[in-house]
Amino acid sequence: MSAKLPSRVTIGTVLSVAGALFIGYVGVSYLLAPQSMAPDFGLPTWPHGEGAGFLAVKGIRDVVSGLVILSVALVGNRRVLGWVMLAMALTPIGDMFIVLFSDGAPATAFGVHGATALAVMLAGGLLLSGSRPQPQLQPQLQSQPSARLA
């Protein structure tokens, strides 16, 4: 008996939900213990004092990102989830460039943020390649006799 392999949509969905839970965890961690999480982002310095509120901004952004992905996944429209994942890939891409342009660690920029972007794009691509758009129901055109002017 051969085992049936999971479909691209299933793999994409699992990657999406796992990513959503992970980024939600990261966001909560930034809200609860920002100074312990900040060094892992890859920037050489972090705001302190009044500027430390920006770490909470990252926390909220990550929690909301996770909730958006989970919300779309729960609705069950895998094509929409695929497009959402591709759009969400812009966040780690942006983070990667922020680290690079701020003289941060290139290994973290590419290894953390770049790899995350690739994983998110992979999930989106799998979802879009494995699901087909629903055909639109079009009303049947009824032929009507043409009226002739006499």
Residue with tokens 């299933």: 10
Tell me what pLDDT residue 141 has: 54
Tell me what pLDDT residue 44 has: 78
Average pLDDT per 10 consecutive residues for the chain, totaling 150 residues: 85 96 96 87 80 88 97 95 97 96 94 97 95 62 54
Residue with tokens 């879009």: 128
Tell me what pLDDT residue 111 has: 97
Structure tokens at 62: 């990550």
3-state secondary structure of 124: helix
Residue with tokens 């509120």: 53
pTM comes to 0.81
Tell me what pLDDT residue 142 has: 55
Whole-Å CA distances, 64 to 6, 59, 67, 141: 29, 9, 5, 46
Rounded-to-integer distance, Cα 74 and Cα 115, Å = 25
Rounded-to-integer distance, Cα 50 and Cα 8, Å = 46
Rounded-to-integer distance, Cα 113 and Cα 43, Å = 12
